Structure 1
Amino acid sequence: MKKLLFLLLITSISFAQKEIESYQLIDIEKFQGTIYRTDIFPSKYITPRTVDVWLPSNYSKNKKYSVLYMHDGQMLFDPNTTWNKQEWMVDEVVTKLNLENKIEDIIVVAIWNIPDLRYTDLYPKKPFNLLTKSDQEKVQTEAKKVNRSISLKEINSDNYLKFIVKELKPFIDKYYSVYTDAKHTAIMGSSMGGLISMYAICEYPKIFGSAACLSTHWIGVKDFEKNPIPESFFRYMMKKLPNPKNHKIYFDYGTETIDAGYIKYAYRVDEVLQTKGYTTENYKNLKFEGENHSEASWQNRIHIPLEFMFRK
C-alpha cells in the first residue's frame, strides 16, 4: 500500500489574485516520484478543485519536460483517493517506461473531478449544439432515466477547457521546467474524459499536439435506440479535427460492460480519421478483448497511448 506524507510548502504562490496553498506528497514506501497537490486551485471559469502535479524522481530544473494533462485526477495515483479502490498507477507506469528509455521525460498534471459536476464539465458542448431541438429533447428524456440532466445551459465543457488552457497551463509553464509548445503537450482521459480529450485537441490544436481517449463514451448518456449523440460527435470531428501532419490522436475500447456499447461505433471513428488524412502513424483505434470499463482495465494498457504520444 502506498503511504503519503503531506508537507506544507513554505511559499504560497499568488495566482489569479488568490493564494494557492500547495502541499507536497512524499513517498515513504512505493510511491514513484513526487506529487505537489493544490487542494483548491482557483478559477473564474469552473468550480475550484484539487490539482496534482506529478514529477519523476529524477526531476531537474536543468532540463525540460513534456506535459500530460489528465482528467479524473483522484483516480490516477493512489487507491486511497478513489471511489472503487482502483487506480491507473500512472506514477509506476511512467517510471517504468522512463527506465526502459521508451518515452521522453514528462510530468503529469492531474485534474480532480467534482462528482456532481463531472458529467456537465466533460460533455463536449459544440457537438450537443449540432443536435436538432427534437434530438436534444430526446437526449434529455433518456438522461432523466439515469438521473442525469443535460442541456446547452448546463454543459460547462467550454469553460472547463478554458480553465486548463488559460489558467492551469500558464501556471504549469511558469513554475515548472517544461516545454510549452503543442508538440510536447498532451491530454488524456477515459470515458467522459475521452470525450473531453477529443474536444480539447479539436478546440485547441495550437495547445495540444496529442490526445489519448480511452473507452471514449460515444453514447454520451446511455445506449438507446436511434441515439443521435454518437453521430453528433463524428460530425463535429469531421469539421474540427486538427491537421494530422502535426497531431496525434489515440482511441481504444474494451469488449465488456459499458465498453461493449462502443464496439459498433469503432468503424465510424476509423472512417472519420482516415477521411481527415490520419494514418497508422498518427492515430490509433484499438480493441482490447475482455477488457471492461474500469481503472483496472485502463491501467493494463496506458503504456500503449503513453508510448504512442511520447515515444522517443
Structure 2
Amino acid sequence: MAPFHWLASLPLTLCLLRADGPGTANPGRIEHLADFPSRFVKAHHVDVWLPTGYPQPGTCYAVVYMQDGQNLFDPKNAYGGVAWEVDSTVAALGTKLRPCIVVGVWNTARRFPEYTPAQPYATLPPATRARLEQAQPVGPLSDEYLKFLVQELKPYVDQHFQTSPKRADTFVAGSSMGGLVSLYAALEYPKVFGGAACFSTHWPLSLQENTPAFTTAMVQYLGRKLPRRHRPRLYFDYGSATLDAWYAPHQTRIDSVLRAHHYSAANWLTRSFRGAAHNEAAWKKRVPPALEFLLGY
C-alpha cells in the first residue's frame, strides 16, 4: 500500500516486555512499539502479542486489533491495576482458536474523540451535540483513527510479522467506547475486518445522561451500512451493574436492526452477564466467548 511506504524508514522503539514465566500458562511474548507514528492521529504505543512457538513454519496467523491496549496484558499499565490478561487467555484456549496474534493499540488523551463514530455523530440533533461537546470539545476523530489502523498499522504488522492479511483472519475488538469504534471499523472497512467484538458497548455516548439519541443515530447508520456481502461477524455483550445497567434497552434496539437484516447465529452473538460491572475485571472474564466466536474452528 502506498500510504505505508513512508513508515518503512522510521525508527520504532521495539522491546520485549514480557516472556514466558511461571504460572503464566505459557503466554508467549509481547513486543512493544513505542510511539508508533501516524500522519492521521497522534502517535500511539502498540503492543504486539506473539504466542509461544511463534513463528511456526507455514503458519499465517490471524490478527486481532484491540483498543485500549495498555489494559490488555500488564497490570502495571492497566487502568485500576487490573489487566485483561489476553495473552494468558488466548494461550489457555489453545486449539479452540486458530493461531493468532493480538495487537493492542494504547489509547491517548484523545480516546473519546478517536473512539466516537463520526458518521452517526454527525446526524445527531444540534442540541445533543452541543451538550456532548461541553464535556468533550474535540469533535470525532474516528475516521482519522481508522485510517491509522488500516493504512498504517495493519500494513506494518503484516510486513513485520507472519500474518494472514485476509479479511477472514483480521478482527477488531474493544470495550465501552472501544466497542463503538470497533463496530464502526468493521462497518466502514468490511473488506478489511472480518469481525468485531464489542464488550459493554457505550451506546449512550455520554457519561452524564442515559439517552437514546446516539443509539437512534447508530440504528440509522446500521440500516445504511450493514453489508450484504463481506458481512462481518459481530459479538456484543453487556452486564447489569454500574454503567452497564444502562445498556440492555440500547442493545435490544441494535439487535433488532441486525435481525431485520437477516443476521443469524452464524454471524452474530449478543450475550448478557447478570451482575457484571463496567470494568477490566468483568471484560477479562468475557474474552474467551468473544474470541471463540470470532476465531473458533
- Same fold, judged at TM 0.5 (above): yes
Match of 1:47 among 42, 47, 51: 42
Match of 1:59 among 45, 54, 59: 54
**1:9 aligned residue:** none
Runs of 4+ in 1 over 4 A off after TM superposition: none
Q: In the alignment, is residue 255 of structure 1 matched against residue 228 of structure 2? A: no
What displacement does 1:171 show?
0.4
CA deviation vs aligned residue, 1:55-81 (integer Å, no higher than 9, x gap):
001111521110000000000001011
Output the CA distance in 2 between the equivalents of 1:85 and 1:225: 28
**2:10 aligned residue:** 18
**1:75 aligned residue:** 71
Output the CA distance in 2 between the equivalents of 1:225 and 1:117: 22
Q: Do the aligned partners of 2:124 and 2:213 also contact (CA within 8 Å) in 1?
A: yes
What displacement does 1:223 show?
5.3
Q: Secondary structure at 1:81's aligned position in 2?
A: coil
Q: Secondary structure at 2:48's aligned position in 1?
A: strand
Q: Do the aligned partners of 2:210 and 2:246 also contact (CA within 8 Å) in 1?
A: no
Write out aligned runs for 1:214-293 (5 A): 214-222=199-207, 224=209, 226-243=211-228, 246-293=231-278
Output the CA distance in 1 between the equivalents of 2:290 and 2:183: 14
Output the CA distance in 2 between the equivalents of 1:236 and 1:304: 27
Match of 1:128 among 118, 121, 125: 121
Percent identity between the aligned chains? 36
CA deviation vs aligned residue, 1:83-120 (integer Å, no higher than 9, x gap):
3011111011100111xx21100000000011x21101
Task: Return closer, same or farther for 1:38/1:225 CA change in 2, 3 Å cut-off.
Answer: closer
Output the CA distance in 2 between the equivalents of 1:304 and 1:311: 9
Q: In the alignment, is residue 37 of structure 1 matched against residue 35 of structure 2? A: no
Which residue identity does 1:291 align to in structure 2? A
Q: Secondary structure at 2:127's aligned position in 1?
A: helix
Q: Do the aligned partners of 2:40 and 2:147 also contact (CA within 8 Å) in 1?
A: yes
Write out aligned runs for 1:108-257 (5 A): 108-114=102-108, 116-140=109-133, 144=134, 148-150=135-137, 154-222=139-207, 224=209, 226-243=211-228, 246-257=231-242
RMSD: 1.8
Output the CA distance in 2 between the equivalents of 1:225 and 1:43: 34
Task: Return closer, same or farther for 1:45/1:75 CA change in 2, 3 Å cut-off.
Answer: same
Structure 1 alignment gaps of length 5 or more = 1-12
Structure 2 alignment gaps of length 5 or more = none
Output the CA distance in 2 between the equivalents of 1:299 and 1:120: 25
Normalising by the residue count of structure 2, what TM-score does the alignment of the two structures yield?
Answer: 0.92
Q: Secondary structure at 1:45's aligned position in 2?
A: coil
Q: Tell me how many residue pairs correspond in the alignment.
A: 289
